[in-house]
Amino acid sequence: MTARIIDGRERAHRLRAKIKDTVSSFKQDGLGTPGLAVVLVGSDPASEVYVRSKLRATEEAGIQSFSHHFEDTVTQADLLAFVERLNTDPAVHGILVQLPLPAHIDKLAVINAIAPDKDVDGFHLENVGRLATGQPSFIPCTPLGCLMLLREELGDLRGRVATIVGCSNIVGHPMAELLLKNECTVLIAHEYTRDTGALVRQADIVVAAAGVPGLIKADWLKPGACVIDVGINRVAAPEKGLADDGAPKTKLVGDVDFAAALAVADAITPVPGGVGPMTIACLLLNTVDAFCTQAGRAKPACLAA
């Protein structure tokens, strides 16, 4: 048995093509152009890479992008004042503040300063509450991308047992809400779970989002499980040789022992090339959704999540 590889890049490519066509139709109909503002504070290398990827994808989809970079010395008051300016800017339909923020800035204060109808990350308290109570809301991009991959791979999710490893507010919690909404039986493992393997072995669906490379072992998996690996971990790869500074080169790996899991799972996402591309595509999807909501229009049926 060799698991099918769930190709997140290909799925994201199809979704982004639909988004691009939709945005083009908005322009042709004289409805205007969706706009996304991305705010970066400081010079974290990983954050800079993520922001460049998001802005590039935004522009390729025909969405207006507004990039704003602050030094890590910016005060919380100044950052909050700038977010309020974006809230009232009619050209900006979605706002994303790249995390993490410097230690002197209250992350939650900034997130909750974003207007809920422009919160395309889905982190605002109002959107979190709406998701938890089954009301229309912006859904965090990574869980939304995971759900879309699962639906395409498995179809109806009703009655399936799903184990989520990791309980962050960015992935674990919203993923649990989405799977419950799809009538799964949901188990959640976290750092204090006494036997994570026992919970994973029960699962038809495994969502690994702990941020620990290779945490999920093949013998933890139920034969035939569908595995969604959200982990993005950079580890040393001595087999690739040395970098210019003499240190071993690195590679990206997930939270699942991928090579071993291929012999047990029915389907699995790779790292990279699985969930990551879907996260960016879903950011664009949420931006179009925000544009439609603010214009009093229904989101096109072709973009239904």
Cis status, amide bond into 272, omega within 30 of 0: yes
- The structure tokens listed for 189 are 């493992």
* Among 79, 67, 15, CA closest to 36: 67
- Is 28 designated active site? no
Does 19 carry a binding-site annotation? no
With beta carbons less than 8 A apart as the criterion, state whether 49 and 272 touch. no
Structure-token match 């950052």, residue found: 79
Please tell me whether 168 is known to bind a ligand.
yes
Single out the catalytic residue among 119, 121, 229, 255: 121
292: left (phi over 0), alpha (psi -120 to 50) or beta: alpha
Report which of 36, 37, 119 is spatially closest to residue 82, judged by C-alpha positions: 37
Short-list 15, 30, 44, CA closest to 304: 15
Pairing mode, if any, of strands 161-165 and 205-208?
parallel
Give the C-alpha separation, 19 to 302, whole Å.
9
Maximum C-alpha span of the chain:
58
Annotated binding-site residue? 166: yes
DSSP single-letter state for residue 20: H
| 254 appears as a binding residue in the annotation | no
Q: Specify whether 54 is catalytic.
A: yes
Clarify whether 98 is annotated catalytic: yes
The residue to which tokens 């229309």 are assigned: 136
CA distance 75 to 62: 33
Pairing of the two strands 185-189 and 161-165 = parallel
**Binding site for NADP(+): what residues are annotated?**
166-168, 232
Active site residues: 54, 98, 121
**Binding site: what residues are annotated?**
166-168, 232
